[in-house]
């Protein structure tokens, strides 16, 4: 994809493994957009904390970080028998799984790593350690191809809506971009594909919802779009109705953290508001979902666990002084679920899914 941007992608790629394989190297997303700083995670506590505190975040990136994290931890084990190795591995895997509950990619990636251990009980431990690094790398590389496929499908939808001489208005929520994945993002992949296919940056205009309370849209997506040269505007989440009413938005792309069998999709808090408003104004609303985000175990909205976070994120984060009286409670769900009836289509790497989502997922072999 777009050669000129490769330097940027390589610099901010969410998760890297150094050649000595001694630690996981992540860009600390809590410091962006002011500081591009990479940090080192060596211990299970450091990996857990980085996921919990959103230093690494975005469903696919969390999965990649956990996978490399398990490979790095396993490489440190001094166990001499498979039984001891496997016991230590499963304990660390359970520990990392307790960091955040909503993004199914975390559990999907940890289970994939766990399977490598379970299925290779007779392999020499040194070889098994190498196998784990290979699996983590495969998870990361597959995610890059997944973004490319999602980008192609999303771009076709963009082309269908583009009017000559007018930039296509795209709205997105939170960050489902490079920082949230292995390279091109999910919700941003169609924009990068458009550049690849010859669109000029000014052929589109990306409206990034600020995304209260942790500002992933403002701090991360607007930062990525800006670095890519794509004209970008940031608006508060509460402005989505007037923005859509103004006629500036032709299409909405969002990411997701867990999609149930029936198409109900959990994503960053505020996504369902956007979908409800989009339906009102008749604006197509697409969820970009790698099949690793589709949870065959979840029947519908009721099976998706929602993370609740520290109310201080609302009351005092970003402010010089707290903006809510100390005695007042804060309500801070980190995700909401957009029910399938509000979703125009779900873009997976295997195809665009519309209509009866469950049937279509099955047809594509997703579950």
Please give the positions annotated as active site.
257
- Return d(Cα 247, Cα 14) in angstroms, integer: 34
Find, among 260, 256, 310, the residue nearest to 285 by Cα: 256
Instruction: List binders of ligand MRU among 316-335 (CB under 6 A).
Output: 334
First to last CA, the chain: 29
Instruction: List binders of ligand MRU among 7-66 (CB under 6 A).
Output: 54, 57-60
- Among 203, 209, 237, 257, which residue sits at the site for ligand MRU (rule: CB under 6 A)? 257
Instruction: List binders of ligand MRU among 171-230 (CB under 6 A).
Output: 174, 176, 180-181, 186, 216
- Among 255, 263, 270, 345, which residue sits at the site for ligand MRU (rule: CB under 6 A)? 255
Q: Quickly tell me which residue has 């007018």 as its tokens.
A: 166
Q: In the complex with ligand MRU, which residue's Cβ is closer, 29 or 262?
A: 29
Q: Minimum distance from CB of 271 to ligand MRU (Å)?
A: 7
User: Is 366 a binder of ligand MRU (CB under 6 A)?
Assistant: no
Q: Minimum distance from CB of 248 to ligand MRU (Å)?
A: 22
Are 262 and 205 in contact, with CB atoms under 8 Å apart?
no
Residue nearest ligand MRU (C-beta atom): 255
Are 202 and 231 in contact, with CB atoms under 8 Å apart?
yes
Q: Minimum distance from CB of 335 to ligand MRU (Å)?
A: 7
- How many chain residues are in contact with ligand MRU, going by CB under 6 A? 18
Residue 311: phi, psi to the nearest 5? -60, -20
User: Is 267 a binder of ligand MRU (CB under 6 A)?
Assistant: yes
User: Is 270 a binder of ligand MRU (CB under 6 A)?
Assistant: no
- Among 44, 268, 340, 350, which residue sits at the site for ligand MRU (rule: CB under 6 A)? 268
Are 196 and 208 in contact, with CB atoms under 8 Å apart?
no
Cis peptide before 33 (omega within 30 of 0): yes
Q: In the complex with ligand MRU, which residue's Cβ is closer, 195 or 256?
A: 256
With the C-alpha atoms ordered 265, 271, 274, 276, is the resulting torsion angle positive or negative? positive
Interface mask (CB under 6 A) for ligand MRU, residues 55-94, using x and -? --xxxx----------------------------------
Strands (E) in 76-142, as ranges, are: none
Find, among 140, 110, 103, 108, the residue nearest to 13 by Cα: 140
Q: Quickly tell me which residue has 């490489």 as its tokens.
A: 75
Helix/strand/coil for 356 = coil
User: Is 244 a binder of ligand MRU (CB under 6 A)?
Assistant: no
Contact set with ligand MRU (CB under 6 A): 54, 57-60, 103, 174, 176, 180-181, 186, 216, 255-257, 267-268, 334
């Amino acid at each position: 994809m777009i050669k000129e941007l490769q330097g940027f992608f390589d610099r901010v790629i969410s998760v890297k493994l150094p050649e000595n394989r001694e630690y996981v190297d992540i860009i600390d997303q809590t410091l962006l957009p002011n500081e591009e700083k990479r940090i080192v995670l060596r211990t299970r506590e450091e990996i857990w904390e980085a996921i919990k505190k959103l230093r690494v975040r975005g469903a696919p990136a969390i999965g990649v970080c956990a996978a490399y994290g398990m490979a790095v931890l396993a490489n440190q084990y001094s166990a001499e028998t498979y039984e001891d190795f496997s016991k230590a591995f499963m304990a660390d895997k359970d520990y990392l799984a307790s960091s955040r509950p909503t993004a199914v990619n975390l559990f999907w990636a940890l289970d994939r790593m766990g399977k490598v251990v379970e299925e290779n009980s007779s392999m020499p431990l040194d070889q098994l350690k190498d196998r784990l690094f290979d699996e983590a790398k495969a998870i990361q590389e597959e995610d890059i191809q997944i973004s490319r496929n999602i980008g192609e499908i999303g771009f076709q939808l963009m082309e269908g809506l583009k009017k000559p001489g007018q930039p296509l208005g795209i709205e997105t929520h939170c960050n489902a971009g490079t920082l949230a994945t292995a390279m091109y993002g999910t919700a941003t992949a169609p924009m990068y594909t458009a550049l690849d296919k010859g669109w000029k940056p000014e052929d589109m205009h990306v409206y990034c919802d600020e995304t209260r309370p942790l500002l992933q849209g403002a701090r991360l997506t607007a930062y990525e779009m800006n670095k890519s040269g794509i004209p970008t505007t940031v608006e508060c989440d509460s402005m989505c109705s007037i923005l859509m009413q103004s006629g500036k938005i032709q299409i909405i792309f969002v990411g997701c953290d867990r999609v149930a069998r029936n198409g109900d999709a959990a994503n960053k808090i505020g996504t369902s508001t956007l979908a409800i408003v989009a339906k009102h104004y008749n604006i197509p609303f697409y969820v970009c979902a790698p099949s690793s985000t589709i949870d065959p175990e979840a029947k519908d909205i009721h099976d998706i666990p929602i993370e609740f976070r520290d109310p201080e994120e609302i009351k005092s984060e970003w402010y010089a002084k707290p903006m809510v009286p100390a005695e007042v409670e804060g309500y801070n769900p980190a995700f909401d679920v957009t029910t399938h009836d509000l979703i125009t289509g779900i873009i997976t790497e295997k195809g665009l899914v519309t209509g009866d989502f469950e049937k279509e997922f099955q047809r594509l072999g997703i579950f």
